[in-house]
Every structure is written in structure tokens, then in C-alpha cells.
Amino acid sequence: MPTYPLYDNEADSLQAASGRALRDVTLDAALDGSLTIDDLQVHRSALLAQADIAKAAGYAQLAQNFARAAELTVVPRTEIIEMYNILRPGRASREELDALSRRLEQHFQAPICAAMVREAAEVYAARGLLRHHDAL
């Protein structure tokens, strides 16, 4: 298991979401224009490492959150916000939630998030939290 804090102990292997190595994230790079904001985003592997660390320390639910987050690193910002809005109560039909679950699973290889959406759909159906004309 990687050693926490990763910043101090795993610096050589850390890379940003863009693939840029941590050691190449420098002030010079910012000044010469070669650095972008994607070079300052967390990579899924770091989130998975944090998930392992959290789980080993007894924080199982937090670890699960990091595992979902690792899956979501590849989802574009606008689509993440759309997904969140679909999951809000009364926003979506059962079919729309099922479609969201499939998209997460198949397009983004996000099985944990997909399972969470399936579970939500099941409870929303039982508790009347689907979009109203569908629930009736």
C-alpha cells in the first residue's frame, strides 16, 4: 500500500489527471505557458490509493466515496453536474435513471457509481421520488 502522505512519500510516482508528472508541475512551467489546469487535477490512481489508505484506517464509507470519485475523474464537468441534477429527487423517470446507470457503467467504466444510481432508482420508485407523472 502507498505510504501517506503521498505528497511526501510517493512524489516520484504521482501524476496529474493529464498524465503530467508531479515533478514537472513547476513555476517555470506556469510561466512558459505549458501548464494547464488539467495538470493540477487529481488522477484516478491517487484517489484509489487514498481509498486504500482510508479503508485500512477504518473509514470504509469514505474509501467507497474515493472509489466512486476515481471513477468520476473521467466524466466531464458539465456531464457530472447533469448527472447530479438527474439524481436529485423528482427529476427523473425510472428509465432515465436506468439510462444514467448504463452510461456510467458502459461509457465511463464506473460500475460502483452505476450501482449507486440503480439503488437510488429502486428507492425513489418505492418512495415516490421519481418525476411525478411517471411515478403516478
Partner 1 sequence: MSNLKRFRALEERDINRETFVESWPEAGLMVADSPYDPHPSLRIENGRVVELDGRAEADFDTLDCYIARHGIDLLVAPEVMALDSLTIAHMLADINIPRAVLLRLAAGCTPAKLVDIMRHMNVLEMMNGLAKMRVRRIPANQAHVTNRRENPALLAADAAEAALRGFAELETTVGVARSAPFNALAILVGAQTGRGGVMTQCAVEESLGLRIAMKGLTTYAETLSVYGTEQAFVDGDDSPWSKAFLASAYASRGVKVRFTSGTGSEALMGSAEQRSMLYLEARCLCVTRGAGSQGVQNGSISCIALPESLPGGVRAVLAENLMASMLGLEVASGNDALASHSAIRKSAKLMLQFIPGTDFIFSGYSAVPRKDNMFGGGNFDADDLDDYAVLQRDMQIDGGTRSITEAEAEAIRRRGAQAIQAVYAELGFPDIGDHEVEAAVQAYSSDDMPTRDIVPDLVAADAFLAGDRSMVDVVAALARRGFTDVAEHLLTMGRQRIAGDYLQPAAIFGRDFVVQSAINQPNDYTGPGTGYRVEGARWHEISHIHQAKSPRDFIADRLGSPLESLAGYGNAKRGGSTEVVVAIGPAFGRIMTKTIGGLNHEEVLKAVLTGIAEEGLIGRIVRIWRSSDCAEIGHVGAKLSGSGVSIGIQSRGTSIIHRVDLARLNNLELFSQSPSMTLDTYRAMGRNAARYAAGKMTTPVPVTVDNWARLRLIVKTALLHRRESEEIRDLPPEALRFDWEPEV
Which residues would be at the binding site for partner 1 (CB under 8 A)? 4-7, 10-11, 14-16, 22, 25-27, 30-31, 33, 35-37, 39-43, 46-47, 49-50, 53-54, 57-66, 68-73, 75, 77, 80-81, 83-85, 87-90, 113, 116-117, 119-120, 123-124, 126-127, 129
Apex 106 CA angle, 101 and 108, nearest 5: 90
> Distance between CA atoms of 136 and 132, rounded to whole angstroms?
6
- For the chain, the C-alpha Rg in angstroms (whole number) is 18
Q: Which CB atom, from 53 or from 105, has the smaller least distance to partner 1?
A: 53
Q: Which CB atom, from 95 or from 119, has the smaller least distance to partner 1?
A: 119
Chain length of the chain: 136
Position of cell 440503480?
A: 118
Nearest approach, Cβ of 62 to partner 1 (angstroms)? 5
